[in-house]
Every structure is written in C-alpha cells, then in structure tokens.
Amino acid sequence: MERIYEDVFQDAFDLEDHCRILAVPRSKGSLHITVSEAGNKEIDLEVMESTQLHLFIHNKADGKVVLHMKGKIMAGASARIALLDLEDQPFEFDQHIDLKEEGASIDNSTAQLVKSAFKKGNIEIRHEKAHTSGHMHNFAVLFDHAKYEMVANGNILKGAFDSASHQETRVLTLGKDHETKVIPLLLIDENDVKASHALTIGEPDENQLYYLQSRGLSKETALGLLSVGYFMPVIRQIENEDLREQLREEMERKVGIYGH
C-alpha cells in the first residue's frame, strides 16, 4: 500500500501488512491509522520539507502485533506521532525516525495499558543535521503480572549542533508480580546541544488513593481514575471530537473506572 498526500489533507484507514506514506513538500494534514488485525506490520514514512504531519496510530487487534516503523523528516518539516494501545494482547513496537535535514522536528508519544500481555518498545530518534528537535513521551499503566519493556534512544550525531533531544517515560504500577524494564538512552556526539531524560516508575500516591476512597469510591474505581492521566495526553491528540470521546470512554472502562 502506498499513500501520497499533498496540500491540506485528512485521512483514516486500516493498516495492512505494509504501508508507505509520503507527505509532499509544503503540505499539512492528519492521518488516523487503525491496526485491526494481528501480525507483522510495517510503516515507511517520509515527511518532505516544510510539511506538517499529525499521525495517530490506534491498536485494536485481537492478537499479537509487531509494528515496525521507520521515517525520514526533511528540512523544516514537523511530525507529531502518537500510539494508543489498550488491548490485552502482546504488542511490540520498533520505531526509528531520522531527522535528515536542518529544522526537522518530531514529537512522539505512546500510551499503553499492560495487563497480562507483554508489551515491548524500542524507539530511536536520530539527529543527523543541526537545528533539529526530538521529543519522546512514553506512558504505561501496569496491572497484575504485567510485563513492560521500553528502550527510548535520543541519538545526536556529530555535526548536529544546536539540536534538542528530550524524553520522558512514566510507568504506573497498579498490581503485583509485574516486570518493568525501561532504558532511557542519550547518545550524543556533539557539544552544542540540549538533552534530557526523565523516568518514573511507581505505585499510586497513597494519599490520593485514600482521599478518593474516603469520598465513597471503590478501590478499583479510584485506581482507574489515577491512571487516566497516563492516557489522556495521547487521547487528546485525536482531532476528531467524537472519536476522541469514544476512545476516552473505552480507556476509562478498561482501567476500571466503571467497575468492570
């Protein structure tokens, strides 16, 4: 499958085994990709110069998904990419984005609900030229016996001066016997750059939990409310209001706000 976009565009489609996406120079638009079937999937993305792209990926597959994504972002182009995965199915995400020319930028987010299935991510943003910007935001909520791994790599090559690489990973653990492995990496071969990483892994705040339960909420509902904040930064990126509300309600149901 190949899709070419120009001017002002908006599109939504189901991902087949392989998809090549090309946003031509000086275009602007949004894409909503749904992963409906299990299996190995590939996305090849190229965002040409002076283009603005918003890409939202929603996993709905009833089975294991292995998603490989590679991308190139050219001069003065910007991409905002978000992944939402609420399924209790194995999911592996391998993503490599190259900021190929000056002024290229990306803001990349993932939000995953991890119950009994194994979730694994490997994300790299590579700065090849000067004046590039890469931001990563990874959020996960873990229940009993969950297993989650994430490698987040900001890679600034020699000559990519005045570039910025920032990342954050936040993991909320709601159960027991879970396994979490998060590796934040900053590989920097240039002096004149800005770079940072932040990592938090932990249980809900006991005072917040006590307060919510003192107001008559069950423990399950209270835990669900505390986990909402880990998904909303990604869900808010959905531009279609009806779909945004639909996914918010789906997320709230799956984290236990409604008691089932």
- SS3 string, the chain, reads CEEEECCEEEEEEECCCEEEEEECCCCEEEEEEEECCCEEEEEEEEECCCCEEEEEEEECCCCCEEEEEEEEECCCCEEEEEEEECCCCCEEEEEEEEECCCCCEEEEEEEEEECCCEEEEEEEEEECCCCCEEEEEEEEEECCCCEEEEEEEEEECCCCCCEEEEEEEEEEECCCCCEEEEEEEEEECCCCEEEEEEEEEECCCHHHHHHHHHCCCCHHHHHHHHHHCCCHHHHCCCCCHHHHHHHHHHHHHHCCCCCC
The residue-averaged pLDDT of 153-166 equals: 96
pLDDT in tens, 200-214: 988 777 777 666 677
pLDDT 10s digits, 94-114:
999 999 999 999 999 999 999
pLDDT score, position 17: 93
Q: Is the pLDDT of residue 260 over 60?
A: no
* Distances from the Cα of 224 to the Cα of 84, 142, 228, 243, 253, angstroms: 17, 11, 6, 21, 9
pTM to 2 decimal places: 0.92
| Residue 137 in tokens | 């935001």
Question: Which residues lie closer than 8 Å to 242 by C-beta, 6 or more apart?
Answer: none
Q: Could you report the per-residue pLDDT of 49-92, keeping only the tens digit for each?
A: 999 999 999 999 999 999 999 999 999 999 999 999 999 999 99
Model pLDDT, residue 116 = 86
